[in-house]
Amino acid sequence: MWDAIKGRDVAGVVIEPMMGAAGFIPAEPAFVAGLEAICRETGTLLIFDEVVTGFRLGPGGAQELFGVRPDISVIGKIMGGGFPIGALCGRWEVFERFDHRRFPRPQDRAAHGGTFSANPVSMAAGIATLEALRDGDGRRLIPARSRRGTLPPLCWQREMRMLECQQARHA
């Protein structure tokens, strides 16, 4: 990865830290940690696609399990308990460009809008989802029939480290 980024003007690297469509296969922890280090060293944004893993693995998603803080995370409708909502999350230094008061000239700022932006029902569902996840057990938000074939039960424990999760998956 270093050779692909070094000496180039790469804006960001997007990864899905745990491949949801492939059966919740986690990336190797050393790969994710190394990627974070390379991105920090080169000034490249590290972006996590947590549309599937965000909140399903606990309040901190896959980034909590990996112990990595991406610059941007993308979270899907799970944050609203299935209601139409999504979120871009990240560091202030990245997202300050959305502040039209701080950056009044259109060429200096980023624009964002959406059909369900700040939808009050979705926001209320999001608050309820976060409250339900407070205990770290995201399984209770997923119907039992959907849990089969996904992560082993041990992986839902908040204190579970990624290596243990991988070992449980392959047992």
Query: pTM of the full predicted structure?
Result: 0.73
Q: Decide: 53 and 26 in contact? Cβ < 8 Å.
A: no
pLDDT at 138: 55
Question: pLDDT above 70 covers what percent of the chain?
Answer: 74
> 130 lies in a domain?
yes
Task: Return the bridge partners of 81, or none.
Answer: none
Nearest to 81 by CA among 115, 117, 131: 131
Q: Decide: 109 and 99 in contact? Cβ < 8 Å.
A: yes
> 169 lies in a domain?
no
Nearest to 88 by CA among 121, 56, 119, 50: 50
CATH of the domain at 67: 3.40.640.10
Q: Domain of residue 7: give its range.
A: 2-100+114-162
Which run of H or of E encompasses 30? Answer: helix 29-42
Taking 90 as the threshold, does the pLDDT of residue 48 lie above it?
Answer: yes
Taking 80 as the threshold, does the pLDDT of residue 150 lie above it?
Answer: no
Query: Which of 17-31, 60-74, 133-147 is predicted least confidently?
Result: 133-147
SS3 122: helix
> Which residues, in sequence order, are CB contacts of 28 under 8 Å at separation 6+?
none
> 20 lies in a domain?
yes
Taking 90 as the threshold, does the pLDDT of residue 72 lie above it?
Answer: yes
Q: What is the pLDDT of residues 24-46, one digit of tens each?
A: 788 888 999 999 999 999 999 99
pLDDT at 39: 92
Count of structural domains within the chain: 1
Q: What is the mean pLDDT of residues 108-137?
A: 77
pLDDT at 101: 92
Question: pLDDT above 90 covers what percent of the chain?
Answer: 25
Taking 80 as the threshold, does the pLDDT of residue 20 lie above it?
Answer: no
